Amino acid sequence: MSAKTLNGKVPRWFSLDQVVLFFKLFRDPEVSWVLKLIPVFAFIYLISPYDLIPDFLFPGIGEIDDIVVLVFAVSLFNRLAPVERVKAHLSEMVVGRRKP
C-alpha cells in the first residue's frame, strides 16, 4: 500500500484497494443508506438498456461508458464515505496484509 493509504486517505487511482474498501464500506452499517445509493444507481445504469454511448452503434466503445460510470461511482462512494469509517477500514486492510 502507498503512504497515502497508510495515512487513512482513499487511494487516488482506481485499484484493488479501492474495490476492497468499497465492499467494506458498502457493508458497513454506519455508512448512510443514502450514500449507498450511488453504486446502486451505477449498477442499475450498467444493466439498463439505455446508454450515453449506444453499444450497438459503437461496438467496443459503447461498453467503455458503462465501465467509466462504474469506476466513477465506486471512487465517488469511497471519497464521500465518513472519514472515520474509511480510516478504520484502511487500517484493518493494512493490518490484514502484514505477515506474521
pLDDT digits (tens, 9 = 90+) for 29-69: 999 999 999 999 999 988 888 877 777 777 777 778 888 88
User: Residue 5's pLDDT is what?
Assistant: 45
pLDDT tens digits, one per residue of 65-80 = 888 889 999 999 999 9
Res 99: pLDDT: 56
pLDDT digits (tens, 9 = 90+) for 11-30: 566 778 889 999 999 999 99
Question: Which residue matches cell numbers 493490518?
Answer: 95
Please write down the HEC assignment for all residues of the chain: CCHHHHCCCCCCCCCHHHHHHHHHHHHCCCCCCCCCHHHHHHHHHHHCCCCCCCCCCCCCHHHHHHHHHHHHHHHHHHHHCCHHHHHHHHHHHHHHHCCC
pLDDT tier, 94 (very low <50, low <70, confident <90, very high otherwise): confident
